[in-house]
Amino acid sequence: MADHVESLVESWLTFSAAAEELGIGPTQVRQLVREHQLAAVRHRVLKEPAVPADFVLDGQVVKGLAGTLMLLTDHGLSDRESIEWLFAADDSLPGRPIDALREDRGKEVRRRAQVVV
């Protein structure tokens, strides 16, 4: 059976691919993950840690993602749970939180992230 988070996220980037997209080194990508500015999971098929490709937009980490991830972490969510939350449909937005962040609607997303239980 496929991992739930892997079924929610359409496209993944290994740390090397994410580094290339962001114009930094793979070590810096690891650091961004440690600092909760990016979230990563060990991808079952890729057999290495990967970040959702939607976390990168125009060569940058999506605006508002780091703050949202910090809120989710503060509420006790793991990287896997945070990715699931960001990629699950939310009728109150409407749409997925990651799409709202990519559309520069971070305030709406962070408001919802503050009440995650």
Q: What is the pLDDT of residues 61-90, one digit of tens each?
A: 999 999 999 999 999 999 999 999 999 998
Q: Could you tell me the CA-to-CA distances from 59 to 9, 64, 110 in Å, in that order? A: 19, 15, 23
Q: Into how many domains does the chain fold?
A: 1
Task: State the distance between the two ends of the chain, measured CA to CA, in whole angstroms.
Answer: 27
Output the pTM of the full model: 0.93
d(C-alpha 23, C-alpha 89), whole Å: 30
CATH number at residue 104: 1.10.1660.10
Q: What is the pLDDT of residues 6-52, one digit of tens each?
A: 889 999 999 999 999 999 999 999 999 999 999 999 988 878 999 99
- Give me the domain span that covers residue 83: 4-113
